[in-house]
Structure 1
Amino acid sequence: MNGTRDTIIETAFLLFLKKGYKAVTLTDLERAVGMTRGTFYYHFLNKEEVLKEGVTRYYRMLNCRRAEEIGRVHSLREFIDLTIHNLLEIENYGAKRFDSDIPEILCLSLMVEVISLYPEFKQMVSNTKSSWMSKLEGVILEAKKNKEIRDDVDTSILAKNLLNISIGLIHYVVMHQDIAYALSSVRYQYEQLYSLVKVG
């Protein structure tokens, strides 16, 4: 891909996150990228095409990053520490760069818009969650094998609970409007769940 096309995709995706897909105009994109309308139409048929490419590219990048991270994890404790670290590292919970780890709270309204325009997105999210679940179940099975956690713990249920804790972050942010409180609560839930399943 050439640089202009990449810049349009990444800048548009961040604008869509910030303002919502419908609210972003071509004029907004022209200003943000520093391009003319003719340049936009040289690269894309319409705004919807930019949205689809941005979402697809973001999920591809996220999946590669998660696969690389989980490849470095050798215990459930390391997975929990990494997850908490990643939550704390999200800079001001704002999407400043395309390769930022963008919290689901920022993606939520955009994803609602995306689903109506891009039905394949549901399958993309489903595949991502299935892949992540499978990798996490592998970590849990390894933790059982190494006697880090109890053998009687249901692997699939534990994996779902671990993933759902971070998803619950959305609820805390919406209800309390307090990121620090939300992160503290999420960390506490991870620690409590780990203490229930670890050996000894």
Structure 2
Amino acid sequence: MQKNNRQDRLFNAAFKLFLLHQYKGVTLTDIEKETGMTRGAIFYHAKNKEDLYRKVVKRYWIDRQNLKKKMDLKKDCSSLKEFIYSYTGSISRTMNGLHSLPAGCTVQQASQAYLSFLMQLKETAPDLHDEYLSNRTYELFTWNDVLRAAVANGEISEDIDTYAFAQTFLFLFYGQTFWEALDNGLNVDQLRRNYLKIYDAIRVKKDSETE
């Protein structure tokens, strides 16, 4: 098996274990059993359990939540409406990738595991948690930039508070994610519909629509 294939197998299995059992609940023996790899083979790709944890969190959590890596911002920000479709599309792709990892889990179990994982990230890897928060801040500023551009080009009303609406769009996503994790996981189609309702409320109406 090629090096990259072995690394992918190791990282996939390790992330699933860390996700379902948390960092303290996973041993190197667990990882050996899950991957079928010897400890020496594991240490070829990571110095120790902590290093392996950091690498898989970076790959499967931090980078997949990074808007710069999820979207082509120059291409996808030509209008607020287009950004909404591209943004929710990127959420679908991220969710599909993440939910494919914990094999044998229901969507509900996977969603709840991700929330629990996120809550413990601050304790297990504070610097990676800070990077995650930095990505969220960048996401908020991106929404604000898109909204300001939409005001400038006449797409939406000029008298709105763009930063407040940027928070509204972002908080709706995170709030709906937490709320629906208790049921069947985030319904991205419903999130898109909710976004478009907000969009319709603030977009500039044509004369024919106001008559």
Question: What's the TM-score once normalised by structure 2's chain length?
Answer: 0.75
In the alignment, is the contact (CA less than 8 A) between 1:169 and 1:183 conserved in 2? no
Change (3 A) 1:11 1:21: same
Which of these two proteins has the greater Rg computed from alpha carbons? 2
Residue 185 of structure 1, CA deviation: 4.2
Q: Note if 1:178 corresponds to 2:184.
A: yes
Partner of 1:25: 27
Matched residue, 1:83: 87
| CA distance in 2: counterparts of 1:166 and 1:183, whole angstroms | 9
What is the DSSP-based 3-state SS (H/G/I as helix, E as strand, rest coil) of the residue aligned with 2:204?
coil
Compute the displacement of 1:145 (Å).
Answer: 1.4
1:151 pairs with one of 139, 150, 158: 158
> What count of residue pairs does the alignment treat as equivalent?
191
Deviating more after overlay: 149-158 vs 21-30:
21-30
Structure 1's 70 and 87: CA in aligned 2 closer, same or farther, altered over 3 A?
same
List gaps (5 residues or longer) in structure 2: 103-109, 206-211
Determine whether 1:52 maps to 2:54: yes
Does 1:139 pair with 2:143? Answer: no
Q: Answer whether contact 1:14 1:95 (CA < 8 A) is retained.
A: no
Contact persistence 2:177–2:185 (CA under 8 A): no
Q: 1:36 to 1:93 in 2, by over 3 A?
A: closer
CA pair 129-93 structure 1, distance change in 2 beyond 3 A? closer
Q: CA deviation at 1:143?
A: 1.0
Change beyond 3 A, Cα 1:179–1:10: closer
1:109 maps to 2:111:
no
1:128 lines up with 2:135 in the alignment: yes
**Take 2:112 and 2:158, find their aligned partners in 1: how far apart are those partners?**
35
**Which residue of 1 is the match for residue 168 of structure 2?**
161
Matched, 1:36 2:43: no
CA distance in 2, matches of 1:41, 1:17: 20
Identity of aligned residues (%): 27
The corresponding residue for 1:100 is none
Q: 3-state DSSP class of the match of 1:152?
A: coil
Picking from 72, 75, 94, the partner of 1:69 is 72
How far is 1:114 from its partner? Answer: 2.2
Offset, 1:15:
2.9
Query: What amino acid is the match of 1:91?
Result: N
TM-score in terms of structure 1 length: 0.79
Residue 158 of structure 2 aligns to a residue whose secondary structure is coil
Which 10-residue stretch deviates more, 138-147 or 104-113?
Answer: 104-113
Deviation digits for residues 121-154 of structure 1 (CA, Å, limit 9, x no counterpart)? 2320221112222222221121111111111111
**Separation in 2 of the partners of 1:55 and 1:141?**
33
Q: Distance in 1 between matches of 2:112 and 2:98?
A: 9
Please say which of residues 125-134 and 7-16 is displaced more in the overlay.
Answer: 7-16
Matched, 1:192 2:197: yes
Contact 2:150 2:156 in 1 (8 A): yes
| Deviation, structure 1 residue 6 | 5.2
Please list the CA deviations of residues 49-68 of structure 1 after superposition, one character each: whole Å capped at 9, or x if unmatched: 211122223323542423x4
Taking a change above 3 Å as real, the CA distance of residues 194 and 105 of structure 1, as seen in their structure-2 partners, is farther
Q: How many Å separate the matches in 2 of 1:128 and 1:12?
A: 24
For 1:147, what is the secondary structure of its paired residue? coil
